[in-house]
Amino acid sequence: MAVNDRSTLVAETTTAPAGPAPATSEPLPLPVYTPDFSPELERLRPLTVTPGKALYREVLPGVLTVPVDAVLALSRRSSLWPMTFGLACCAIEMIASFLSDHDLDRLGIVPWPSPRQSDVMIVSGTVTKKMAPAVKLLYEQMPGPKWVISMGACATNGGPYSAYDRVVQGVDKLIPVDVYIPGCPPRPEALIDGFIALQKKIAAEKHA
Ligand code: SF4
């Protein structure tokens, strides 16, 4: 056959190709999906709230088996943020306590330079009557719950200045004190001991 034969070419293009005829393209029927909720039925059943029983005990039974008071106390005592302010020579020992030698971070104690987020005030030094309003104001600016450590003899009862009229004879006359640390000045180890005593006190606190 000549390739350039026009009639032959037309005949070839109009003739059906050899082999089986193509199947018609009917869409396959989709399987009907019927969800089976039987394994989930227990979980999907509406919750029955028992009066007098905590909701979390219904929803997650066995997850929290200690009183919330204990969880809050554990959280609070493990993340103390003492405010960084000092009044006299005891403050130098307080600053030394915050250095890497003593690593207060391992106890969850992080010094913080603002009363707005601090929860521990360390009164480290002599509280003069001139400074007393500032100490009280700083305490009032701290959010609750908050605690106070009286560090050294001056803050506790006037120390060497017990005969001086211009010195407050104990910071507990201005604000409530939780822990007293003796010494003039107390060493950093004594302050750490005071923090541990405060943590024990916080762990035993109960809130209504
Ligand atoms: S207790 Fe002693 S070291 Fe501390 S502030 Fe008073 S005088 Fe200074």
Output the residue whose Cα is nearest ligand 1's atom 8: 89
pLDDT (tens digit per residue) in 104-145: 999 999 999 999 999 999 999 999 999 999 999 999 999 989
Q: Is 94 in the pocket of ligand 1 (CB under 6 A)?
A: no
The pLDDT of 167-177, averaged and rounded, is: 94
Output the residue whose Cα is nearest ligand 1's atom 3: 185
Q: What is the 3-state secondary structure (H, E, C) of the chain?
A: CCCCCHHHHHHHHHCCCCCCCCCCCCCCCCCCCCCCCHHHHHHHCCCCCCCCCCHHHHHCCCCCCCCHHHHHHHHHHCCECEECCCCCCHHHHHHHHCCCCCCHHHHCECCECCCCCCCEEEEECCCECCCHHHHHHHHHHCCCCCEEEEECHHHHHCHHHCCCCCECCCHHHCCCCCEEECCCCCCHHHHHHHHHHHHHHHHCCCCC
Q: Is 127 in the pocket of ligand 1 (CB under 6 A)?
A: no
pLDDT of 14 > 70? The answer is no
Question: For a pLDDT cut of 90, what percent of the chain falls above it?
Answer: 57
Which atom of ligand 1 has the smallest separation from the CA of 89? 8
The pLDDT score that the predictor gives to residue 7 is: 46
Which atom of ligand 1 has the smallest separation from the CA of 160? 7
The pLDDT score that the predictor gives to residue 17 is: 57
pLDDT of 189 > 50? The answer is yes
Model confidence at 9, pLDDT cuts 50, 70, 90, reads very low
The pLDDT score that the predictor gives to residue 18 is: 59
The pLDDT score that the predictor gives to residue 204 is: 87
Distance 72 CA to ligand 1 centre (A): 35
Mean pLDDT of the chain: 85
Distance 89 CA to ligand 1 centre (A): 5
Which atom of ligand 1 has the smallest separation from the CA of 183? 1
pTM: 0.70
pLDDT (tens digit per residue) in 63-112: 767 777 888 888 999 999 999 889 999 999 999 999 999 999 999 999 99
